[in-house]
Amino acid sequence: MSTAANNLGPTSSVVALCGGVGGAKLALGLNRLIGDRLTVVVNTGDDFEHLGLHISPDIDTVMYTLSGLSDLERGWGRADETWNFMASLEQLGGAAWFRLGDRDLAMHIERTRAMRGGASLTDFTSSMARKLGISATILPMSDHRVETVVDTDDGQLPFQEYFVRLQCKPVLKHLTFRNAASAVATPAVLQSLRDPDLAAVIVCPSNPYLSIDPILAVPGIRDALDKIAAPIIAVSPLIAGQAVKGPTAKIMAELGVPADSISIARHYPFLSGLVLDEADRKDAGKIDLPTHVTQTLMKSVDDRDRLAAACLEFASALATKE
């Protein structure tokens, strides 16, 4: 593993684009390998105000995962969580469809307080990551509120209505990233992508439509990616046509796109290479890009380390070729 990290060179940096659970697993592996040389740019299209609190689900998943606080069984939220706030909220007739654990709540309350006091989401996230002892830099994709809105056969739905309350059951027809046109990428995100020592950009195995596209919709980010000399690789979130978790395959079917890694490669036109699962080895030949075939399912922490190392090695090999 240290080989992969050492291949980078002592000042080289890596940027990962990441959504929630699946992406955070790979970000953890990268964080373990290269620590403070890693910047994770996280989707905030899922952010919403709920109970008067600013909730940033993917940022929190990444922070909890990288700090070792996440619940590995549940896949979201914190370990050793309790739910007495929710029980009490239900008793008082409050909205209980979006579950907030007692420990998790501290993050939302601190974030809301800090942001009402004028802190940007970037500032707040940076401060919390430091408090939690995380080596990597975690950056929201934007400090503007870009909101993912889902057009479905049940009408237009705010993201969390679709994702949590309706559990992705409505048929997705189209996605809109509201306010994207008027948003701007933060100086921190642009700086990470323009770093002369940037060795690789890794698109984590997150949902391309719900988690990565919102990041790409922020003006300035796609443009910066197009100008990057370093390899940009993605890890396909599909294994044998299925996502490990979440509605990626269902959404692809609804959008009339074959649910395979060939489609993933096409989805990201800026890629230098694609990492795909052994189960999809047959697809490698049909992809018009360098590919790396490996086990992409991350069950253990070792799996996360191993896939992170494979990504760094693959990117390093692509850089050498260029």
Is residue 131 involved in binding its own copies (CB under 8 A)?
A: yes
Q: How far is the CB of 61 from its own copies (least distance, A)?
A: 16
In angstroms, give the least distance from the CB of 160 to its own copies. 16
| Range 37-56, binding its own copies (CB under 8 A) | 51-53
Q: Is 82 in the site for its own copies (CB under 8 A)?
A: yes
118 belongs to the binding site for its own copies (CB under 8 A): no
CB 142 within 8 A of CB 186: yes
Residue with tokens 């237009």: 156
Cβ closer to its own copies: 71 or 110? 110
* β partners of residue 307: none
Determine if 132 is a binding residue for its own copies (CB under 8 A). yes
Residue 88 binds its own copies, judged by CB under 8 A: yes
Give whichever of 92 and 181 is closer to its own copies, judged by the CB atom.
Answer: 92
Q: How far is the CB of 64 from its own copies (least distance, A)?
A: 11
CB of 113 to its own copies, least distance (A): 4
CB of 81 to its own copies, least distance (A): 8
Long-range contacts of 77-84 (CB under 8 A, 24+ apart): 77/101, 77/104, 78/103, 78/104
- Give, to the nearest 10 degrees, the angle between helix 121-131 and helix 102-116: 140
Minimum Å gap between C-beta 133 and its own copies is 10
d(Cα 145, Cα 82) in Å, to the nearest integer?
30
Torsion of CA 241, 245, 247, 252, to 10 degrees: -20
Tell which positions 154-193 bind its own copies, by CB under 8 A: none
Kindly report each contact of residues 156-162 with a partner whose C-beta sits within 8 Å and lies 24 or more positions away, as own/partner: 158/48, 159/45, 159/46, 159/48, 159/210, 160/46, 160/48, 160/50, 160/57, 160/98
16 lines the binding site for its own copies (CB under 8 A): no
Q: How far apart are CA 203 and CA 222, in angstroms?
A: 13
Residue-by-residue DSSP string for 228-297:
--S-EEEE-SEETTEESSSSHHHHHHHTT--SSHHHHHHH-TT-SEEEEEGGGHHHHTTSSS-EEEE---
Q: Which two tokens stand for residue 28?
A: 């953890």
User: Toward its own copies, which CB reaches closer, 104 or 260?
Assistant: 104
Contact segment (CB under 8 A) with its own copies among 26-34, 112-120, 294-302, 307-315 equals 112-120
Say what angle helices 57-66 and 102-116 make with each other, to 10 degrees: 120
247: which 2 tokens?
């509605």
- Give the nearer residue to its own copies in terms of CB position, either 107 or 243: 107
Q: Which position among 25, 32, 37, 78 is part of the footprint of its own copies (CB under 8 A)?
A: 78
Of 110, 254, 303, 313, which one interacts with its own copies (CB under 8 A)?
110
Near its own copies by CB under 8 A: residue from 2, 73, 93, 285? 93
The answer to whether 270 contacts its own copies (rule: CB under 8 A) is no
In angstroms, what is the minimal distance from the CB of 158 to its own copies? 17
Of the candidates 1, 6, 103, 156, which one interacts with its own copies according to CB under 8 A? 103
Report the residue number, 55 or 230, with the smaller CB distance to its own copies: 55
> How much is the CA Rg of the chain, to the nearest whole Å?
19
Residue 274, judged by CB atoms within 10 A of its CB (0-12, 13-18, 19+), counts as buried
Shortest CB 89 distance to its own copies, Å: 4
Q: By the 8 A CB rule, do 295 and 277 touch?
A: yes
- Applying CB under 8 A, which residues contact its own copies? 51-53, 78, 80-82, 84-89, 91-94, 101-107, 109-110, 112-113, 116, 127-128, 131-132
